[in-house]
Chain A
Amino acid sequence: MKKVIVIGSGIAGLACSATCAKKGMQVLLLSPAPSERSQSVMASGGINAVLPGGEPGDNVESHIEDTLRGGRYLSGKRAVTGLCQSAGQILQDLERIGTVFSVDAAGAPKRRAFGGQSHKRTFYCGASTGKQIVTALIMEARKYESRGLIERRLWCHFYKALLREGVCYGAMIFDEKKKQLETVTADALVIATGGQNSLFGKTTGSNMCDGYAVGRLFMQGVALKNLEFIQYHPTTIETAQKKMLISEAVRGEGGRLFYETNGRRVYFMEEKYGPRGNLMTRDVISREIFLAPGPVYLDISFLGKKAIDEKLPEVKEVCAKYRGIDICREPIPVVPSVHFFMGGIAVHNNHETDMKGLFAVGECASMYHGANRLGGNSLLAAIHSGRTAANAIADEAAERVMREEDFSSELAGEQARLEMSMASKSPFPVMYIRDMLAETMQRSLGIIRDEAGISAGLEDVDYYLSVANRISYDGSVSAYHNFSLTGILTLAKAALLSAKARKESRGAHCRSDYPEEDENYACATIVSYDGGSYTVSFDKEHAYES
């Protein structure tokens, strides 16, 4: 029986685990916390699919074209075609396993409009679509847990992959309760650890998604892709503790963006882009809000309390609870904020990396969204990528001939290093460096960037790296926060180098010094690492689209 290790138990990890188990494989599902804590529960707006009964003229080809165009033609057409073609089946499967979709009087799931899409094709569950899907997938995984096909372990952090000569044999993990490293081996290792939020401090997402696994794999020789493409969601609301997402569903239901001048509302998106201006893609709207002459608001009050209570209850609650704003009566003050990472681990169409047996799925992998992701495509991609990896692992002709690879000396070495570090004291608090990194990244990789700002960011990160390499153990925070620091900083440097190399503006990567899209850059950015040196290249041969 093939054995698979899945790291991360959000939607991508759950979808991958359940599919592996369904195909008779044995899954070890590792995460620091249960799936209810994953960022997936925060996805609100919906999931895209073309199904019978949709708007006249809609078809899978339109979904493919919308996705490619929204991503400024940077994603591979074959991968996007696979994504969109699988969407109908995914929706049906989500219904079959009991997801509570919003339905019409006849019991059929309802659709709403979303940004950058030619037709209304976003299915939803109120404004808590991610949470409802997570609940259904947890139950699906539980079915296989009870059959002994999925074993879950909590309190586990990824430490590093077990790699030898381009082949992955499993992972070294850190057990937070035992405070120990251990090795787990399998035929395949699937990374499903989500986005790189901690590079930017507090984002709309979970602060458990920190990008460490991606950074550490990069340091182990795994190539990363398109790191400069960071999605700023146009509509978030400032609260005392963070900027919280105001779902695109608000604009999908007719919400209008405006700023005020001389007491008059200027509906700037509609004025510039026509009646569908509020449903332009996120990169475009974020830039327009950033450039607006004053504070921007999003108005949905005209929809009325009844419709708001029915369609957007969670949005109403967040605004009331954290800002005392009643969206049925007043507009929502909005600002853009870091929300999603189009870039991540470079994978081939089957979601395998360049390392045999090492896969990446969900937001930590870069595949479908190109230079800008469409709303409603991330939940879809999380499930599709998890399934694609599971199918690829199942299709491998036979179980890997597990050569008697012995990782015990590597484990002993890492454990000794960690213990030595834990016994030392440091004058540099880890959290302080993470805060400084967030400030640097927000300054250097904002909505609009330029060479000087990116170079200044690189200088900062080089300094943090030099401190991190000299740092002793900061006993005032958890062991994980200590050992993850260098991986996170290394990933930040890779992102800055990628942004510096792409001398054009495309999608979410907007350079004031290179404001135009340039055909010479119509391919993915690849960054690789070898013993401390970073190499950025452009995938003109489309090597990762096979």
Chain B
Amino acid sequence: MKVRILRQKSADSEPYWESFSYDGPMEQSVAGLLDYLNFHDDIRTADGEKTDRILWECSCMQGVCGACAMVINGRPALACETFLKDLKGKEITIRPLQKFPVVRDLVVDRSSIQENLKKTNLYIDEYQPSEKESHAQQYLAAKCLKCGLCLEVCPNYVNGNTFYGAVFVNDCFLVSARNREQRGEIRKAYRQHFESDCSKALSCMDVCPMKIPILSFLTMR
């Protein structure tokens, strides 16, 4: 199987494609494939040329930390839960998320996610729920990985812009559900950084690894 990876040596250098051959098991995930390519004495391209190991972010390897978000065959996904047997065609293309600045290879800087949440003061402070709690939804919202897949796929999100995307709505919902006193402030932030610019494409829900029902959070006007 041929694997094409978009690589980049540093933040300010030009990206380039490199091809590799993979002959391991197809039950493997893309994360397993990257490990397989990296964990040999040498790493060589499909042409047999020695090259640098492929840098990618990885922590849990089981879909609960969000580190390995990347674009696989054109679709934003977590590498550790995208399986080779489920991919169509004889070639896989892997590239870094495009909405964030590349640090090296498949590693991108997603710190704008946390920065936006900090700028809008999204924190619970004291737990003061409303009488009728949406416990199951809150549980799901608290599982958000901050992986950035929802922003990558969103037609309206641009890094550095004032539209903060689905990840922001998720935390708006969680904070307002857990502390009713915060609701007024959060509504303001929601209007300013989400409502007016969301075109309801809802592609964010298709790619969310935690299957968070963002749509049901959009009723918080």
Measured between beta carbons, the chain A residues less than 8 angstroms from B11 are: 177
Measured between beta carbons, the chain A residues less than 8 angstroms from B66 are: 36-37
A-B contact pairs, 19 of them (CB 8 A): A34-B110, A34-B114, A36-B65, A36-B147, A98-B124, A98-B178, A98-B179, A100-B138, A128-B143, A143-B125, A146-B118, A155-B103, A207-B59, A241-B62, A241-B80, A242-B62, A314-B64, A321-B81, A435-B39
Listed in ascending order, the chain A residues whose CB lies under 8 Å from chain B are 33-34, 36-39, 41-42, 95-100, 103, 107, 125-126, 128, 131-132, 135-136, 139-140, 142-143, 145-146, 152, 154-155, 176-177, 202, 206-208, 239-242, 244, 314, 318, 321-322, 429, 431-432, 435, 475-478
Q: Does B205 contact A (CB under 8 A)?
A: no
The answer to whether A126 and B139 touch across the interface, beta carbons within 8 angstroms, is: yes
Interface 9-mer from B26-34, B89-97, B151-159: B26-34
Question: Closest 6 CB pairs between A and B?
Answer: A98-B124, A98-B178, A139-B123, A241-B32, A135-B142, A143-B123
Q: Mark B122-134, 1 if CB is under 8 A from A, else 0.
A: 1111110000010
Least Cβ–Cβ distance between A85 and chain B, in angstroms: 23
The answer to whether A41 and B175 touch across the interface, beta carbons within 8 angstroms, is: no
Q: A33-B57, A98-B124 known; A145 and B179 CB under 8 Å?
A: no
Q: Does B23 contact A (CB under 8 A)?
A: no
The answer to whether A100 and B142 touch across the interface, beta carbons within 8 angstroms, is: yes
Measured between beta carbons, the chain A residues less than 8 angstroms from B110 are: 34
Listed in ascending order, the chain B residues whose CB lies under 8 Å from chain A are 11, 25, 27-29, 31-32, 35, 38-39, 41-43, 51-53, 55, 57-67, 80-81, 103, 109-111, 113-114, 117-118, 121-127, 133, 135, 138-139, 142-147, 174-175, 178-179
The answer to whether B118 and A145 touch across the interface, beta carbons within 8 angstroms, is: yes
The answer to whether A476 and B122 touch across the interface, beta carbons within 8 angstroms, is: no
The answer to whether B122 and A318 touch across the interface, beta carbons within 8 angstroms, is: no
Measured between beta carbons, the chain B residues less than 8 angstroms from A154 are: 111
Measured between beta carbons, the chain B residues less than 8 angstroms from A242 are: 61-62
The answer to whether A146 and B121 touch across the interface, beta carbons within 8 angstroms, is: yes
Q: Give complex CA distance A321, B124 in Å.
A: 33
The answer to whether B64 and A322 touch across the interface, beta carbons within 8 angstroms, is: no
With A37-B65, A128-B64, A240-B29 already in contact, 13 other A-B pairs whose C-beta atoms are closer than 8 Å: A34-B114, A37-B66, A41-B60, A42-B64, A95-B127, A100-B138, A125-B139, A142-B117, A142-B122, A154-B111, A206-B60, A207-B61, A321-B81
Measured between beta carbons, the chain A residues less than 8 angstroms from B41 are: 429, 432
The answer to whether B139 and A132 touch across the interface, beta carbons within 8 angstroms, is: yes
User: Of A37, A38, A97, A241, which one neighbours B127 at CB under 8 angstroms?
Assistant: A97
The answer to whether B59 and A37 touch across the interface, beta carbons within 8 angstroms, is: yes
The answer to whether B123 and A146 touch across the interface, beta carbons within 8 angstroms, is: yes
Count chain B CB atoms within 10 A of each CB in A139, A145, A241 and give the residue with the most.
A241
User: Of A177, A240, A478, which one neighbours B55 at CB under 8 angstroms?
Assistant: A478
Measured between beta carbons, the chain A residues less than 8 angstroms from B133 are: 107
Count chain B CB atoms within 10 A of each CB in A135, A321, A477, A478 and give the residue with the most.
A135
Count chain A CB atoms within 10 A of each CB in B63, B138, B139 and give the residue with the most.
B139
User: Of A42, A139, A244, A435, which one neighbours B122 at CB under 8 angstroms?
Assistant: A139
Q: Give complex CA distance A208, B123 in Å.
A: 27
The answer to whether B127 and A208 touch across the interface, beta carbons within 8 angstroms, is: no
Q: Give complex CA distance A227, B43 in Å.
A: 34
The answer to whether A431 and B53 touch across the interface, beta carbons within 8 angstroms, is: yes
Measured between beta carbons, the chain B residues less than 8 angstroms from A98 are: 124, 127, 174-175, 178-179
User: Of A34, A96, A314, A432, which one neighbours B126 at CB under 8 angstroms?
Assistant: A96
Q: Which B-chain residue is minimally distant from A134 (CB atoms)?
A: B142
The answer to whether B65 and A42 touch across the interface, beta carbons within 8 angstroms, is: yes
Q: Give complex CA distance A321, B83 in Å.
A: 10
Measured between beta carbons, the chain A residues less than 8 angstroms from B135 are: 100, 103
Measured between beta carbons, the chain A residues less than 8 angstroms from B174 are: 98, 135
The answer to whether A41 and B64 touch across the interface, beta carbons within 8 angstroms, is: yes
Q: A131-B64, A241-B29 known; A34 and B123 CB under 8 Å?
A: no
